[in-house]
Amino acid sequence: MTINSKDFLVGEGDKVKLRKWPTKIEPVYKSKNQYQTFLREHVAQLSAQQQLLYSSNRYAILLIFQGMDSAGKDGVIKHVMSGVNPQGCQVFSYKHPSPTELQHDFLWRTTRDLPERGRIGIFNRSYYEEVLIVRVHPEILRSEGIPDAPLDGKTDWRERYHSIVDLENHLYRNGTRIIKFFLHLSEEEQRKRFLDRIDEPAKNWKFSLADIAERKFWKQYMLAYEACLSATSTKTAPWYVVPADDKENARLIVSQIILDTFKALKIRYPKTDTKRRQELLSIRKQLTK
């Protein structure tokens, strides 16, 4: 299996046009069994890397997942992170802001949930909703109570992009490595997945009328994503555009990108110095008496 992370990377300063990015590519697996084998290998490697991350206590990892409804965010998180020790990993999902959250700046509710050093944090949607759904539905901005917020929807989003990039640069300088995934789903594949959710009783709970309402804004969302990816993909916190029409392929791509990021950190278990070694030998003597 060969997956080159750079094939999905949005370079800093790139102007993204999503129609040029595929939603489906040739799968890296040849059969369902081979997919499961590859995934198990990735999950085992991620588990080992998470233990190194925890023991070294130098870095934190933040994974951000964005995408249209039914793009597969939940499935990627469930399958890719299935082997990671729950004590070293936390998942947060962000819906409509609460009244309390609306009383704070737009980054407040997510910064409360940032991972500690030695741990992996996962955001299923994130502060990026504030330059995506809020951009498509500018009336939400008025409910945030921002002084002098424009009432005509003609917002200069560059200020929010700057706030986000500044935050991510600050986190990088303090040891948090951020990997951002946009699961790139086609409009036709979303239609099929919505029908599947309606036709299968076990999946009915996943579907709501709000999903259909948002689907009408597909073009506006694509424009919002293009602007967002172009403005906020940096060397320190890159975006990856992952073809999401094939769920299994997307999971393998995501897991490989995470593994590549881990390996680039070159984390090692803490070395035992002479003083510590002597202490351990003393304890060993007591235990073997």
The model's pLDDT over 245-283, given as tens digits with 9 standing for 90+, comes to 999 999 999 999 999 999 999 898 887 777 877 887 788
- The one-letter amino acid at 243: P
Provide the token pair at 264. Answer: 């680039």
Instruction: Decide if 226 contacts 3 (C-beta within 8 A).
Output: no
What residue has token string 């947060």?
92
Q: How far is CA 139 from CA 59, 150, 153, in A?
A: 38, 10, 7
Residue 151 has pLDDT above 70, yes or no: no
pLDDT at residue 241, as a whole number: 98
Q: How confident is the model at residue 149 (pLDDT cuts 50, 70, 90)?
A: low
The model's pLDDT over 213-248, given as tens digits with 9 standing for 90+, comes to 899 999 999 999 999 999 999 999 999 999 999 999
- Check residue 104 and give left, alpha or beta (phi > 0: left; psi -120 to 50: alpha): beta
**DSSP assigned state of 147:** T
What residue has token string 């929010």?
160
Question: In this structure, which long-range contacts are made by residues 192-196, counting pairs with CB atoms below 8 Å and at least 24 apart in sequence?
Answer: 193/70, 194/70
Provide the token pair at 85. Answer: 């020790």
Q: How confident is the model at residue 204 (pLDDT cuts 50, 70, 90)?
A: confident
Residue 186 has pLDDT above 70, yes or no: yes
pLDDT at residue 289, as a whole number: 79
Q: How confident is the model at residue 150 (pLDDT cuts 50, 70, 90)?
A: low
Residue 164 has pLDDT above 90, yes or no: yes
pLDDT at residue 154, as a whole number: 59
The secondary element (H helix, E strand) that includes residue 172 is helix 158-173
Closest CA to 11 of 272, 258, 234: 234
* Higher-pLDDT residue of 192, 204: 192
Rounded to the nearest integer, the mean pLDDT of the chain is 92
pLDDT at residue 37, as a whole number: 96
Closest CA to 131 of 208, 198, 66: 66
Domain that includes residue 77, residue range: 5-288
Where do the DSSP E strands lie in 102-158?
Answer: 120-124
Residue 41 has pLDDT above 70, yes or no: yes
Report the domain count for the chain: 1
The model's pLDDT over 54-97, given as tens digits with 9 standing for 90+, comes to 999 999 999 999 999 999 999 999 999 998 888 899 999 998 88
The CATH number covering residue 263 comes to 3.40.50.300
